[in-house]
Structure 1
C-alpha cells in the first residue's frame, strides 16, 4: 500500500495522470460538440423535409386527375405526372425513416454513423427539392386554366358586390326598375353558384 502511494506521488506519474485527465476532458468536450453539430444538422434536414412536404402536390394532383377525366388531351400528361408523384412519395417515406435513423444514432452516441447518414440524406433531400419544384410547376401548368378562371370570377364577384352595395344605398333612384334589377342579381348569384359547382367537378369548359 505504501509503495502504491509512493508510486502515485511521483512527479512523472502525476503529470501522466493529469495529462490523461485533460485528454479525457477534451474527448468528452469534442464529442459533445460533434453531437450538438449533428443535432443541428438533423434539425436543418427536418426543416427542409417539412418545407418540401408542405407543398400541396397531392391536392393539385387530385384536381389534375379530375380535370383529365373531362379533358382527354390531358390524360397522358397527368398519368406521367402521377407516376412522378408516386415515386416522389416513396422517396418521402424513405427519407422519414432515414431521419429517424439519424436521430436514433445520435441518441446512442453513434455520431460517426449519424454523420454519414446525414451527408447521404442531405444530398438526397436536395434532389427531392428539385423534383418537388419541377412537379409543382408541371401541375401548375395543367391547372393554369382553372387559375385564370378563378382570377376572373373573383374580379367579377368584387364588381358584383360593389353593384349590390350601390343598389342598397341608392334604392330610391332605382325604384321604377328595382324588381327587374333584383331578379337579375338573383340570376347572377345563381350563375356564381353554378360556376363553383363546375369548378369543384373540374368541368372548366362549362365554367
Structure 2
C-alpha cells in the first residue's frame, strides 16, 4: 500500500529485502548493492520462494510500475478512487479518474481465515483489461473473485493493459524503454517560423504525429532534453 500511495515512494537503501535490524543507527549501515543486483538477476530467471525474495520482487515490480506510469502516483491526476468490494477484509482502490493502476490488499487475516477466505467475495475493477505486475495474471474489468486476484500473494497491483474496447496499451513500449531498448527514434521538426513543431516519430510507415503513450513519452524526452540544454 505504501508503495502505491500518492507522492514519492520512501525506502531505506537495502530495505528492498528483509533486514533484521532496528532504526537509527542500524539503518545507516552501508547498503550491499552488489548483493541486491545479484538477487535481481537471480529473480529474473525464477520465481521468488523465500519471504526476502518475495519482498524484493514486490518492491521492484511496483517501482518499475511507478516509473512506467508516474502520473498515476504524482500530479493532479493521481487521485484516490475506492473500488466496490463485498468484504471489509480487502482494501481496494484505483489511482485517478481514468485509472491505470489498481491496488488490492487483504487485511485482518485471522478473522478472514474463519470465513474461508475470499472464496465468495468480489471486487469491481474498472473497465478494461488488467495485468497483475506481481504475477502476470490478467483480469477483465467488472466483478472479479478476490480469491482469484489474491491467489498467489495477499496483495495485487494491477496495471491497465487494454481499454474497454480492447485497444492495447503501449505496455511493451514502456517496458522496452525501461530496459534502454532503442525501439523508436524521435526527431524534432521546425515550422516556417523557426519554432519547434510538435515531436514526431519515425516509423516503418513514415513520419506520423505522436499520440497516446508514445506521444507522451516523446514529449517527456524533448522536455527533458530542452531543460538540460537550458542549464548548459
TM-score of the superposition, structure 1-length normalised? 0.25
TM-score of the superposition, structure 2-length normalised? 0.23
Which of structures 1 and 2 has the larger relative contact order (alpha carbons within 8 angstroms, sep 6+)? 1
**Richer in helix (by share):** 1
**Richer in strand (by share):** 2
Give the number of the structure whose alpha-carbon radius of gyration is greater.
1
